Structure 1
Amino acid sequence: MSSPTQAPVTRRRVFYLPGYDPIHPRRYRELYRKEGAEQAGLSGYDLALSARTSEGRYGWQVDAYIDGHDIHTEFDVLVWSDIVRDSMERGIAGTYLQLIRTAWTYIASGALFRLMRLRKGPVIAALYPVGFLLVQLALALLLAFGVWYGFVAGWEALFRKPDQWFSDGFTFAIYAGIPISLVAAYLLLRWFKARDNKLFAYYLMHDYAYSAQSKGANPPELEARMAEFTTEIAAALTTDVDEVLVVGHSSGAHLGVSILADLIRAGRMPENGPTLSFLTLGQVVPMVSFLKDAHRLRADLHYLSTREELAWVDVTAPGDGCAFALCDPVAVSGVAPENQRWPLILSAAFTQTLSPERWKALRWRFFRLHFQYLCAFDRPGDYDYFQITAGPQTLGERYADRAPSPSRITRATSRFTSMAA
């Protein structure tokens, strides 16, 4: 790797790795357009987004004028939403089977209780779909019983003789009422599922189940897609840009760890190529690395944490209840080497970088807060997503003199630390 760029960045390539998200990546383009314009207005720089002109994955381009410099940035979204959608194609019964398997994986392994020692917020977020799906099931069963009881009582009221409480008709009503009550229960569960775009119970259940199904190992289809991403990033490192920046958000953070570890191990870093930077946002790495068979991820965390070929900055915030805020993903996974240098753990400090009015409006919107890292701050500190992705400094230069957050958590907590499959 070349030494860190001292001249201002004028051309950059950004690869954005989303989390477990089934929605088309245009949502990220529109989010960048809207929030970037707001941040530019608040911070006093120019930012213009336009359609990309080059071939490749879904993306866009940004032209910015910041601190007296013109910067051109090409964005690529490393899409795996099709894999996510395929993993979500389970019926109601299949989702409840997932619930049982996922809960057993985290509880029996002890991972759930160890995760709670780090941050309770993301564990509560993980328990939310379990609890809410069980509530839905309980309501459906209660409805089924009510329908059955009403059917049987109604039948007897209409057809029993005055001096006879039990009859063949009563027996018929008992059995005939069962399928009717089950249909009513199913329709209620269908009603809940149809509104999951507001409840998120099924979505989150599929999310946690995706990693738990293989106890932390990557499914084959995901490994194949990650290999494609590695090749694309390697190709970008041979182009005429000043920085190649990989951004991993939420579950995309641990995918980025393995992708960049593979890239560097394979010797695919050109000798005098662009600066390689890695930004992880709202990471949930421990949800995977604490599982028994997450050997690959733990080995990649161990390896990447020592490399000089890149700069790795991890940004979270205690106000984000869906992330393991200020938890060093390498250290808490129990695989930190003595010569660990990455990641630099920083706080986005929502309570300080958002005005009291905006914080009040967002405080209880947990899923929206999980995306705040990609949005505008009306009291920005040194974390500015748009200056990082479209400004004149590389990620390493921007935080060269920045000390890690004094509140970071580094105690080894995972029960499983094996790095050999």
Structure 2
Amino acid sequence: MSGQSQLLKERDAERQVRRRRVFYIPGYDPIHPRRYRELYRKEGAAQAKISGYQIDLKPKTTKGPYGWHVTSRQHGKETDTDVDVLVWSDIVRGSMSNTIPATYLQMLRTAWCYIGSGALWRLMRLRKGPVIAALYPVGALILQALLAVLLAWGVARAVALIPLPLMSLAGLVLGGGAGIALLRWFRVRDGKFFIYYLMHDYAYSAQFRGANPPELEVRMAEFTEQIAEALQSEVDEVLVVGHSSGAHVGVSVLADLIRSGRVSEDGPVLSFLSLGQVVPMVSFLPDAHRIRADLQFLSGRNELAWVDVSAPGDGCAFALCDPVGVSGVAPEGKHWPLVISAAFTQTLSPERWKELRWRFFRLHFQYLCAFDQPGDYDYFRITAGPRVLGDRYAGRAPSKSRITKTVSKFTSVAP
């Protein structure tokens, strides 16, 4: 471990967390944040029962965004935690309000961005799972269009065979209507297929070739202010958790926070936990200068501890890929993030793993859930227990299977 990390270890070892603030940054998710409260309540109770500690949820005690209060007793020590969800679901919903033709145009633009830049082929060299997840909506939308065309042709053909005047014209009108109706049927049922949802997700990152959309930059500045305010409060740790796309949002927010000089040595410990990250989907794009610069900056700082958790069993994440290393921006003296595996095949019983193995979207949220054979990763010990993140993983070796080799073609950190 580097000298900077050793300083963190010594500082963190002196502190017991009695009060904590947690800021949870969701991924690209249009759903109300109450979903995360209910998930925390249900899964926290399950993990506490399995692991033998106590955890209780109450309404939040702090001002600000949606959240909840947690009281937990672990290892004979009681900790109070206030959890805030840094909401950007309204931005997500706005980006998803496209018509069917607009979504197909979006598909073409996104495919061109990833294929034309060469990013897609390089991403496939990391992990095929998230790339397949990216290609799935493209293939599915094309298939839906083909089925709609076939239905339109069949209806038009059948109507044209009726020996009455203008039946050919009527067939074209009815066939076109049938094809459009089928596309609308697919769209309405996207809650089962996730085709439009995933298409909008990847398109959101690709629309500016990896640069952040203006509305997201504004919201990230608000997040930075909220975390800075917490760092001035009487708590022992401020923990930022970024899940999925929320991981790269968290990287930039924390980089901005540290650059602005608002992290005091005498203040709360600052920690960052990234879960199931998909950073390469953004950082590998041509104009992703902002996220690459932030990755480079954050990876060498001693103002925080950064632990990145993923699992090869999660087909929607770039599992065990060091986001700094694979993006080609590792600075001299880099020591973050510590990349470790949640090891689903070991931390979930064979029965539970069999139940979840093919539920890809559910597995992508497993980091926020209970493990029936827990290892050294426990979301509820980290977010509600008496130890700061850096202390909990001090001396922990990174996963032997982590990928650190530069794969991205684009490594510039300035336009």
Deviation at 1:5, TM superposition (A): 5.0
Provide TM-score, normalisation by structure 2: 0.97
Match for residue 177 of structure 1 among 171, 174, 183? 171
Q: Which residue is 1:166 aligned to?
A: none
How many angstroms does 1:271 deviate by? 3.3
User: 1:335 Cα deviation (Å)?
Assistant: 0.6
Counterpart amino acid of 1:192?
F
Aligned with residue 253 of structure 1, among 247, 254, 265: 247
Residue of structure 2 equivalent to 1:365: 359
> In structure 1, what is the equivalent of residue 138 of structure 2?
130
1:322-361 superposed matches below 5 A: 322-361=316-355
Distance 2:203 2:303 in 1: 34
Instruction: Give the 5 Å matches for 1:224-243.
Output: 224-243=218-237
Corresponding residue for residue 153 of structure 2:
145
Structure 1, 372-381 or 175-184: larger mean CA deviation: 175-184
CA shift for structure 1 position 135: 1.1
| Secondary structure class of the residue paired with 1:240 | coil
Give the gaps of 5 or more residues in structure 1. 160-168
Structure 2 distance, partners of 1:268, 1:137, is 52
Report whether the alignment pairs 1:25 with 2:33. yes
Cα distance between partner residues in 1 of 2:410 and 2:311: 26
For the residues of structure 2 that align with 1:76 and 1:290, how far apart are their CA atoms? 30
Q: Is the CA contact 1:59–1:76 (under 8 Å) kept in the aligned structure 2?
A: yes
1:119 aligned to 2:113?
Answer: no
Amino acid of the residue matched to residue 321 of structure 2? C
CA-CA distance at 1:173 after TM superposition: 2.8
Q: Distance in 2 between matches of 1:177 and 1:84?
A: 40
Instruction: Determine the structure 1 residue equivalent to 2:111.
Output: 103
CA shift digits 1:248-278 (9 cap, x unpaired): 0000000000000000001011231000000
**Structure 1 residue 54, shift from structure 2 partner:** 2.6
| Structure 1 counterpart of 2:90, one-letter code | D
User: SS at the partner of 2:125?
Assistant: helix
Contact 1:5–1:275 (8 Å) recurs in 2 = no
Once the two structures are TM-superposed, the CA of residue 358 in structure 1 deviates from its matched residue by 0.2
Moved over 3 A (4+): none
Name the aligned partner's letter for residue 398 of structure 1: R
In structure 2, the partner of 1:42 is 50
Aligned with residue 67 of structure 2, among 42, 54, 59: 59
**Separation of aligned partners in 1, 2:185 and 2:170:** 24
Letter in 2 for 1:400: A
Q: Deviation of residue 7 (structure 1)?
A: 2.8
Q: Which residue of 2 aligns with 1:75?
A: 83
Deviation track 1:80-118 (CA, whole Å, cap 9, x = no partner) reads 000000000001111111111000100000000000000
Q: Deviations over 1:155-174 (max 9, x none)?
A: x3xx3xxxxxxxxx4xx333
Shift of 1:134: 1.1
| Alignment root-mean-square deviation, CA | 1.0
The total of aligned residue pairs comes to 407
Q: Name stretches of at least 5 consecutive residues in structure 2 with no aligned partner.
A: 1-6
8 Å contact kept, 2:15–2:236? no
Query: Identity across aligned pairs (percent)?
Result: 70
3-state SS of paired residue (1:400) = coil
Describe the SS at the equivalent of 1:402: coil
Does the 8 Å CA contact 2:62/2:82 hold for their aligned counterparts? Answer: no
Correspondence 1:238-387 to 2 at 5 A: 238-387=232-381
**Residues 128-156 of structure 1, C-alpha deviations (whole Å, 9 max, x = no match):** 111111111111111000010011012x3
1:202 alignment counterpart: 196
Q: 2:178 is matched by which residue type in structure 1?
A: A
- Is the 8 Å Cα contact of residues 247 and 277 (structure 2) preserved in structure 1? yes
User: For the pair shown, which has the larger CA radius of gyration, 1 or 2?
Assistant: 1
Q: Which residue identity lines up with residue 248 of structure 1 in the other structure?
A: G
Q: Name the SS of the counterpart of 1:4 in structure 2.
A: helix
Whether the 8 Å contact between 1:5 and 1:242 is mirrored in structure 2 is: no
Is contact 1:388–1:395 with CA below 8 Å preserved after alignment? Answer: yes
Partner of 1:91: 99
Q: Deviations 1:348-394 (Å, cap 9, x if unpaired)?
A: 00000000000000000000000000000000000000000000110
SS in structure 2 of the partner of residue 267 of structure 1: coil
Q: SS of the residue aligned with 1:417?
A: coil
**Partner residue of 2:15?**
7
- Which residue of 1 is the match for residue 387 of structure 2? 393
User: Are the equivalent residues in 1 in contact too, given 2:208–2:287 (CA < 8 A)?
Assistant: yes
Residue type of the partner of 1:338? E
* CA distance in 2 between partners of 1:7 and 1:284 (Å): 32
TM-score by length of 1: 0.95
CA offsets 1:280-339 (integer angstroms, 9 cap, x no match): 000000000000000000000000000000000000000000000000000000111121
Q: Which amino acid aligns with 1:283?
A: Q
